Structure formats: C-alpha cells, structure tokens
Structure 1
Amino acid sequence: MKSASSLRIISVLVLGLGAGGAYGAGFQLLEQNASGIGNAYAGSAAIAENASTIFFNPAGMTRLPGVNVSAGATAVRPSFKFSNTGSTGPGGLPLGSNNGGDAGSWGLVPNAYLSWQLSPDWYAGVGIGAPFGLMTEYDGDWIGRYHSKKFSIESININPSLAYKVNERLSVGAGLNWMRLDADYRRNSPAAGLITFLPGGIANPAAPIVAGSPDLEAKVKMDGDAWGWNLGVLFEATPSTRIGFSYRSKMKINASGHTTIRNASPVPIPTRFNASTSVELPDTAVLSVAHDLNSRWQILADVSWTGWSSIKSLEIDNGDPRFSDDLDLRFRDTWRLALGANYKATPRWTLKGGLAWDQSPVDSARYRPTSLPDSNRYWVSVGAQYNINERTTLDVGYAHLFVKSTSIDNDTDPSKGVVRGDYKSNANLIGVQVSHRF
C-alpha cells in the first residue's frame, strides 16, 4: 500500500468544472441561457433569438439589430444516490454501512450577454457564463470516503466576440474566451499509510497505534485560468431554414494551490503542500438546423460532438514524488442529439418542447469516479416565451434528465479500496431569461 499521504486527488478532474451544482454529460454545462432549456437546447447554433447566441454561435448576432441584452439563471438539482453491492476498504479496513446520502444539491448557473450593431454588416458582443460545472457531496463517513467526500467548483468564462454579415444569407463570427476555475476537493485517507514513515515500518512498536488512528482528512484548493477561442457560421438555406455551425477550442488549464492534511499527529509528516496540475478541457462542435414550417410552428435540431478523449489520465504534483500520483479516467469522445419545436400560440405566447440524448464520456464501471458518477441521460423539456412588448421577452424553461441505473466498480487504486455498487441519478433544471432590445 502506498502511503496515505500519497493523495490521488480527484480534484485534478474537477478543475475542469464550472459553476457548482450544474449537471450535463461529463461536467459540461449546456445551461448558458435559460431560453434554450424548453427545447433541450435543440437548434442552439441556428436559432439566434437573443444575445445568448454569443456563446452558442457568435455569427447569430447579425440577426439582432441595435443593442441587445439578455440575462438569466438556471437552478439545477441533481441527485446521486449510491447503493453498495460489495465495496471493500483499503487493506481490509472496515467501511461501515453509510451509502453517503444524496450527493447532489441545488446549484445556480447565471449568465449575461450584450450585443450591439456597429454598422450594417459588423456586430460585437460579450458574454459571461460557466461552460463546465458540477458538485457532489457525500456524508463524511460514507463507504467511498477514501475516493471522495466532496468537491465544489466555481468558474467564470468571459467571451468577447465579433460577427460579420457577408451577405443576406451568410454570416460568420468568432470570439476569444478567458476562463478562470476554482476548486475545493476533500477525501479521507487511512492513517495506516503513515506506517511507512516509521523506522522499521510495520515492525515498529508504534505501528499498531498508528494503524488505529483516525483517518487523515485531505483537502486541496486550486485555481487557474486559460485562453481559448470559438467561431461560428450561420447560413440561410431558404427563407424558412437556417443552418448553424459552431466550434469551441480546447482550453489548457494550469492550476496551482495547496493540499492540506488534518489528523496527521501520530507521525510527524508534512501537512501542507504546494499543489499543481494541468488539464486540457475538451473542444466542442455543434451543427444545428432551425426550420419554420409555417407562421406558427418551428422545428429545431442539433447534433454535437465533444472531444473528451483529451482527458485520458490526470496527475497532481504535490512537490514530492512520494505525495504525487495520477488518476486513470480514459474518457471517450461523446455525441449529443436533440430535437425541439416551438408553437406560436398567440402573438405574445410561444410554447416550447424538446427531447435529447446526451452521451457520457465515462463508459466503464471501473473508471467511473465517485466524484463524477456519470452516465448517458435523456432530456425531456418544456418551456414558454412571453413577449412583454415589442422589445422585451421573458423565457421560462424546465427539463428533467433521466439517467439509467449506473454501476461502479472502481478498483484502480488499492490504497483507496474498491467502491462497488450502483447509482440512481436524475436532475431537474428550472431557468428564467429576460431579453431586451434597445
């Protein structure tokens, strides 16, 4: 067994996350506006109905004359409930019977956008949001406490953009992205690992005392930032059909901070380390269609790809090889499919609906981390848009995410034991967005 202070920090993974509480495949956040929730984000790169198009496809700004503002928030309530089917502790340590409770909790994902028309053909804008995010928190003495107890992530992404109207049918756009991430991750580690620090190791008379000591409690806090870019194209194939394509680049985060350890008194070891890591967040590509069947009905569709294979394994460096390790994830690239429809019931009211299938980058029970018990999910969404007046709209949306029972059999690190069981998961999203044109 490696020493308990050799912390395999799953927070390396979490450093790629965004606003706490959000829930998308992997740790990607689609909730960059609330107006798209009602359609399960179908048609995201083609609809361009408010200034939030800056994130989904900056070329869509050319459909927004004058100055436009849009702001909103999405409340997200994920649920992760674990059932044990044979977990074992490191070195045979007892784990108890606590399944951890519900590791999900409420979170809020805000966003804000501003676009303005510089000339008949040029448009500029800026958006603020969080493209990645998730939070899980278990009971402190749960069965998987040596894998993770809690992680909480906050992030901000600022996205200035430009768009150019090539002609009446074709527009292009591009933007820069600056993202900052802050992570707080906690887990336990058995004190028995400190025996390797005793002269003589297991033969030392103090070894039984050390082995019977309380768990060590490890916490890592890290932050970092990175630059990236995005681009988009919007093409009007017919007066009633628009096709949009958008791409967001990878972003390499170099994060640093500190790892601290509590309850290390049986053996004098360092309790604070300088910590650093690097992770390459995935790129994404989206192809969307928006088609007006008639004056009342609009059909939306999306196919998107996320390059999660950029994260195969992650390593945290605590400044000493004895205290550093890596996390084996083996993420795969993923696809998402979405269909939606809008119905203009009255001049003021538009009703929305949508369905989506969202593939998870985690496709193996062995490499499924307790901090991210992710699996494929299905979206069922409804929403409504109310035109307060000719310049102001209010959007509300609700989505329920169905996740099949997810197995976990993570034995990749013997010093943390084996977590074996099943997760029952789901999520509910409720969003509100206000948009205004000056």
Structure 2
Amino acid sequence: MIKQTSALCALFGACASFGAGFQVLEQGASNLGTALAGSTVNANSDASSAFWNPSASFSMDLRPGDTVMDSGMNFVIPSFSFSGKSYAMGQEVSGSDGGNAGEVSYVPNFYLVHQFTERLAGTFSVTSPYGLETDYDGDWVGRYQALNSDLVTVDINPSVAYKVNDWLSIGGGVSLQYMHAELSQATPLAPGRDATVSLRGQSWGVGGNVGFTIQYDEGGRIGFNWRSEVSQDLEGNQHLEMGITDTIMNPIEANVTLPQTFNVGIYQRLWGALDRFAVMADYSFTCWNSFDELDIKNSNNGQTVGGEAVHENWKNVSRISVGFHYYPEFDENLVVRVGATWDESPVTGAKNRTARIPCSDRVWLSGGLGYRYKNMNFNISYMYIFFYNDSGIDHSTSNGAFRTVGKYTGHAQVVSIQAGISF
C-alpha cells in the first residue's frame, strides 16, 4: 500500500490550486474554455461528465457497448507576492518579501464513460479536486508562520447513471480519496539562527456524489450535482530540520473536512439566425465553513502542536460562470469557446487570512478550441485568473508571539490540453 500511495503522490505531486480556497477546478480543458460554464450539464459532450455530473453522460448519445475516454493535463503558472512586515515577540523580523510564493504546477486528470444498455451507463474518474502549494524564500519575514505548504489529493470516483425516460437521467457514485500534506515553518533557535519544523501526514477518506439532468428541449438541458464532505484523518510525523539533519520528533494527527459542493448548470443551443451559437452557465455553492480550524495534535499526549490551533473561520461561498460556444459553418467539427467566472473567497477578513492560503476573490477569463476527428477529440484552453483586489493580511498566532501584516497581490495563467477517444 505504501508503494501504491507513493505512486499516486508522484503522479499528482505538483498539483496546486488557484481557485478560491484550495479547490482544484481544472477538470477538463473543454470545460475550462468556458471558465466551467456548462460543466454540470456536459456542454462539451465528453467523458469529463464522470467528474462533474455522471447523469449528464447521456448527452453523448452513446450506443450500448460504447466507451469514451478523455485525459488531460493542466499547467498552472501562478504569481503572487507579499508586501508588508512581520513581528516576533513584538520585534520586527528582518528578511525578504518571500519572492513569488506560487509554484508552477500540473494537474492531470482521467475520465471514462461506458454505456452498458440504452438506459444504464457507468463512469470513472481519477482527479485531484483539492490541492495547495506555496513556497516562500527561506529568509522571508513571515517564515515563522509559513515556509512551504504542500497538499495533494487523489480522488478515485466510480459512478453509475440511469436514464429514467427521454427527459430525465440520474446518477451517483462513491469517491475514494487520498490526501498527503506537508507544512513547514521556521522556528528561532538563537539570534540569527533558525531551524525548520515540518509536519507531514497522509490519509484516505470516503465521499459520494448524486446528480440529475433534465433534457427540457432538443438543444437545451439543465443539471444538478452534489458532492459530499470528505473527512480526512491525517496521521504522520513532526520533523525538526537543522542543516542536513532531519529528526523525527513526534507522531502527529489532524482532521481536515473537505467541503460539500452543490452545482447547477444549464446549456442552450440557440436557433434561427443564431443557431451557430450556444450559451451556458453554472452556479456552484461550496460549504467552506467546514474548514473552521487547523488543529494538529501530538498523537502521544493529545496536545496541540505549537500549543495552539490555527483558526481559519472560513465561510460558505459562491462561484458563477457564463460562457458561449460558436460552431463555425465552415467546419462542423470545430468549436470555439469563451467564458468568465466570478469566484468568491472563503476567507472572512485580514485577521483570518494566512500566509499559507492568501486567498482572495478572483475573476477568471478564458477561451479555448475543440476539434473532433472521426472517433477522437482534441481540446486546448487558456485561462487568466486575477485577484479582484489586493488582499490584506493581519494574522497573528493565538498567543500573539508572531504576526504578519501587509497585503497580497496575485494572478495565474492556466494552459490546459485534453484528448479523447471513443470506441
């Protein structure tokens, strides 16, 4: 099992999010072309429905025995910077601004849909729905609160879908989810000398998903999908690093509850003089209030590591996406996509914004192309994401020993590719 989970971690090891919170929403280059608008109703009629809403798989009009597979890679190129000050025991900490703490990352994914009968289909996806990676320079002023933060999830999600009648389909499945996390920060030993404390843990959790799709018109459909919370009980070790020495200090444990999500989407192919266009939209509600605090405990005595939990106090948030397809008359196999998204931050203010997750409200602007050739499809998209405004931080540890004050600015570019085949 250790070798198997190590292989999973290697495959998804550089996954990171630039969605609000630490959701990884880069699920299908076809969907990113419209900034996720229409993803809940499978607007692109591909196997990514295995993740977004298995009940929407029937939009592909497969015959019994048909199989569709799609796989893709998303390259996330973030840039965010800090300006401000940090204090330790009331004294200003000397050091740099931390540089660009965003790490260039990749997010792979795989989706499969198989049509068993005219009314029954099975779907399967392997994705990374949550992830985080921030890495500051070792001498940055806020090093006593955060240096490196690395979180990876791998979600294995088999589902089934059933076509109740010509206009209604339903679906549901189970998620088996692996999580690996590593957090590090500096700790002062003597004036001018620091050591690094890192916390490393992993776990498996179980969740589920349920959804439906209504085909209200030949060219229009609406859909809904719910994903449950996933409770992760991380277990691992606390490490003290001084130079080349890495000493395991104590076993640790922590619970992280990943949020439940509700997605609603619509797709409509237009008519008349506009029949070469389609419009679509998605609304998502994410219950981030489940991420109230990060309490890492010593497994031997039950005491909180460092003497205090990190109070996150996140709130529930919304995400709204709108998008358009254009199907050129000169080539029926080509589709042009554009979209935009408003993505609300779950962070409730400067005092609850941490250096590990300097989250902010953000805007996505995207475009992409898709092309079908015989039984294959190819998709590419580009998305630009930017902080809607500067994000202030005034975060102190509960005992007041360390405090970071300032602001963050940031943006990211996402390049996504996807290829699929049906047989």
Query: What TM-score do you get using the length of structure 1 for normalisation?
Result: 0.87
The aligned residue for residue 335 of structure 1 is 318
The match for 1:52 is: 48
Partner Cα distance (2:336, 2:86) in 1: 51
Aligned in 2, Cα 1:217/1:118: closer, same or farther, shift over 3 Å?
same
Q: Are positions 1:247 and 2:245 aligned together?
A: no
Taking structure 1 as reference, are residues 18 and 229 closer, same or farther at Cα in structure 2, changes over 3 Å only? farther
Paired AA for residue 436 in structure 1? I
Alignment of 1:298 with 2:278, yes or no, is: yes
SS at match of 1:357: strand
Q: In the alignment, residue 381 of structure 1 is paired with which amino acid?
A: S
Given candidates 18, 43, 58, the residue that maps to 1:23 is 18
Alignment partner of 2:296 out of 292, 316, 324? 316
Aligned to 2:377: 393
Structure 1 match to 2:8: none
Tell me by how many angstroms 1:18 deviates: 8.6
Counterparts in 2 of 1:423 and 1:258: CA distance versus 1, 3 Å:
same
CA contact (8 A) 2:102 2:134 kept: yes
Matches within 5 A, 1:256-405: 256-263=235-242, 272-294=249-271, 295-318=275-298, 319-320=300-301, 321=303, 323=305, 324-345=307-328, 346-389=331-374, 391-403=375-387, 404-405=389-390
Task: Give the gaps of 5 or more residues in structure 2.
Answer: 1-11
- Note closer, same or farther for the CA distance 1:423–1:309 as it changes in structure 2 (3 Å cut): same
Partners of 1:386 and 1:317 in 2: CA distance: 51
Distance in 2, matches of 1:144 and 1:340, equals: 40
Question: Over aligned residue pairs, what C-alpha RMSD do you find?
Answer: 1.8
Tell me which amino acid in the other structure corresponds to 1:165.
K
> Does structure 1 retain, via aligned residues, the 8 Å contact 2:90–2:401?
no
Question: Could you tell me which of 167, 170, 178 is aligned with 2:168?
Answer: 170
- The answer to whether residue 68 in structure 2 is matched with residue 68 in structure 1 is yes
Q: Quick one: distance in 1 between partners of 2:255 and 2:16?
A: 23
Q: Bigger relative contact order, structure 1 or 2, given CA contacts below 8 A and separation 6+?
A: 1
TM-score (norm 2): 0.90
Distance in 1 (alpha carbons) for counterparts of 2:182 and 2:401: 19
The DSSP-based 3-state class of the residue aligned with 1:36 is helix
**TM-aligned CA deviation for residue 386 of structure 1:** 1.2
Alignment-mate amino acid for residue 225 of structure 2: S
Cα pair 1:259 1:272 within 8 Å, conserved: yes
Task: State the 1:91 CA deviation.
Answer: 1.3
* Alignment correspondent of 2:119: 121
What is the deviation of 1:47? 2.5
Q: Which moved more, 1:254-263 or 1:414-423?
A: 414-423
User: Take 1:315 and 1:47, find their aligned partners in 2: how far apart are those partners?
Assistant: 39
Q: Which runs of 5+ in 1 are unaligned?
A: 1-16, 192-210, 265-269
Decide whether aligned partners of structure 1 residues 374 and 322 sit closer, same or farther in structure 2, where only a CA change above 3 A counts.
closer
Query: Which of the two has higher C-alpha Rg?
Result: 1
1-side partners of 2:304 and 2:325: how far apart? 58
Whether the 8 Å CA contact 1:21–1:104 is kept in 2: the answer is no
The C-alpha deviation readout for 1:48-86, integer Å capped at 9, x for no partner, is 5111101100101223311100100100011110111xx
Tell me the secondary structure at the aligned position of residue 289 of structure 2: helix
Mapping of residues 395-434 of structure 1, within 5 Å: 395-403=379-387, 404-414=389-399, 416-434=401-419
Query: What SS class does the counterpart of residue 370 from structure 1 fall into?
Result: coil
* 2:34 paired residue number: 39
Q: Count how many residue pairs are aligned between Structure 1 and Structure 2.
A: 395
